[in-house]
Structure 1
Amino acid sequence: MLSKLTRWLDTRRRERALRKHPIADELWQATLDALPFLTHLDAPDLARLREMASLFIAQKEFSTAHGLELTDAMIVSIAAQACLPVLNLSLDLYRGWVGVVVYPGEFVIRKTVEDEDGVVHEVEQDASGEAWEGGPVILSWEDAQMTDARDAYNVVIHEFAHKIDMLTGETNGHPPLFRRWHAPLDAAAWANVFDHAYDNFCGKVDAVPQRRWARFERESLIDPYAADHPSEFFAVCSEALFVQPGTFEAEYPELYRLLARYYRQDPARTGVLA
């Protein structure tokens, strides 16, 4: 009886949220036109993405910084991109926090780093996005609009992949595995593919001579920044899966299959989920 009541209440909340935060047809079409990497989705998937984006908007609080005007177009664009990774999973993966803060462009973050001698330093660096554990996602609107799919860059997908990764309590490139979605994929199978791919990529980056570094950055599908930490490798590869799936599958087929199975999406249409 209690489970039936809970499902009824959840349905009522869902319906109320969809009524309160509808996405107009014209705005939704403009959003799709600006996000060409969504073309792999069929009409039913796009309808589910639209509904999920409305629910996301109902659950989150959007704000801006440095005088940036918050518009419906910004909110819907970010919501659609944020919901893409969890389209076949659940918005529950984004529970426990509410804030999405949008800056006009890159912003400065302060980090504590430890050098090889064990000395701790406070450093400042420019960032296009940041995800806080238990806190907001912070995004550069300038970067969030870089969605032409000419490379594998997508700051929204990147930061929301971090949010998923954080659910285990440790942001380490080993996101949570749920039996209802991911069986028979388990932690050992994940580590066997992911850790091996990460180590190989780090070795590849380390082997690039200084004189060829700029060329390597231009030609590498996976941003060399991904070698900084397994969590960054997971986030950058998540970008590639959704934004450049064909190239990603061709260059990293085993890693593509792993992430496709994790997100339960096959944007390159390889049949891996069949």
Structure 2
Amino acid sequence: MIPLFKSWRRHRTLARAPIPDSLWHAGLAAQPMLVGFNGTERAELRRLATLFLDEKHLHGAHGLEITPAMALHIALQACLPILRLGIDWYDQWSTIIVYPDDFLPRREIMDDDGILHLDESPYSGEAWERGPVLLSWAAMAAGEPLAIHEFVHTLDLRNGVANGMPPLHPEMSIQDWTRAMSRAYDELHARLDRDEPVELDPYAASDPGEFFAVMSEYFFAEPWTLAQSCPDVYGQFRQFYRQDPLARLPRGPGILHVKE
């Protein structure tokens, strides 16, 4: 989209399609990870959510009707990671498909021996480089930060592959990022191999892309857990997302649960 036209359209959207106050306040109250913002931050989150709802196309699957409250719930989680990055970090895709529950993508996967298998495992979310992003509303309604997980996958995919290395800011060091992420990923693997208890969701050990997405969930929903378990990862995320959730979120009961 031509920059001047994009700017004009967004200005018009913000003027003509504001999020109603009652819907906005209910949406904030429904997600504990959204507390602690100052007035400027809340205003920016509202601006981003308004643009997100205008520019992205949400479709309900299997007869699911997406209400304004549901759409805002998704938008708020989607816009939290890009609060300091901007809506253009999501400019490579536009479609979101919301399923009532987990879904079966039925894809072929090649194992380490070169044998193709049909994967029929249920998924609660999935993201593709050019879209769509797929979400389970049941998981979202249960309080999971699923949208954060899937939408940060799209940040990772801006480099063409979900490998845990999103495009870093010029002032960031690729070596420092790689060192922090690799050490934490390897340590999680080692502890799981030794059958030791871990504070983090073992699903993070699936591959580097999932490690980035799961650690991002912790960064925004339970920053104290990530900072204690992987302080170097927290430090890199603080630089990348340009946010410090530890400074605004009161420590309390976690909303993430380690999967057995």
Whether these two folds match at TM > 0.5 is yes
**Counterpart in 1 of 2:208?**
230
Deviation at 1:9, TM superposition (A): 4.1
Secondary structure, counterpart of 2:129 in structure 1: coil
Q: Which structure 2 segments of 5+ residues have no match? A: 249-260
Alignment of 1:261 with 2:239, yes or no, is: yes
Contact 1:65/1:104 (8 A) holds in 2: yes
Bigger Cα displacement from structure 2, 40-49 vs 76-85: 40-49
Q: Distance in 2 between matches of 1:109 and 1:84?
A: 27
**Counterpart in 1 of 2:220?**
242
- Identity %, equivalent residues: 42
Q: Distance in 2 between matches of 1:8 and 1:225?
A: 43
**Counterpart in 1 of 2:94?**
98
Q: Distance in 1 between matches of 2:37 and 2:194?
A: 38
The one-letter code sitting in structure 2 at the alignment partner of 1:87 is L
Contact 1:105/1:128 (8 A) holds in 2: yes
Alignment of 1:199 with 2:177, yes or no, is: no
Q: Distance in 2 between matches of 1:95 and 1:130?
A: 17
Q: Which structure 1 segments of 5+ residues have no match? A: 1-5, 148-152, 210-215
| CA deviation map 1:79-100 (0-9, x unaligned) | 1110000000111111121101
| CA deviation map 1:62-90 (0-9, x unaligned) | 11011111110011110111000000011
Alignment of 1:82 with 2:78, yes or no, is: yes
Runs of 4+ in 1 over 6 A off after TM superposition: none
Structure-to-structure mapping, 1:159-198, within 5 angstroms: 159-179=150-170, 183=171, 185-198=172-185
Q: Distance in 1 between matches of 2:204 and 2:178?
A: 17
The one-letter code sitting in structure 2 at the alignment partner of 1:226 is A
- TM-score by length of structure 2 reads 0.90
Deviation at 1:251, TM superposition (A): 2.1
RMSD: 1.7
Aligned residues: 247
Deviation at 1:188, TM superposition (A): 1.4
**Counterpart in 2 of 1:36?**
32
**Counterpart in 1 of 2:256?**
none
Deviation at 1:113, TM superposition (A): 2.1
Secondary structure, counterpart of 1:63 in structure 2: strand
Secondary structure, counterpart of 2:120 in structure 1: strand
**Counterpart in 2 of 1:212?**
none
Q: Distance in 1 between matches of 2:29 and 2:199?
A: 24
- TM-score by length of structure 1 reads 0.85
Secondary structure, counterpart of 1:102 in structure 2: strand
Secondary structure, counterpart of 1:130 in structure 2: strand
The one-letter code sitting in structure 2 at the alignment partner of 1:94 is Y
Contact 1:21/1:57 (8 A) holds in 2: no
Deviation at 1:107, TM superposition (A): 0.8
Secondary structure, counterpart of 1:191 in structure 2: helix
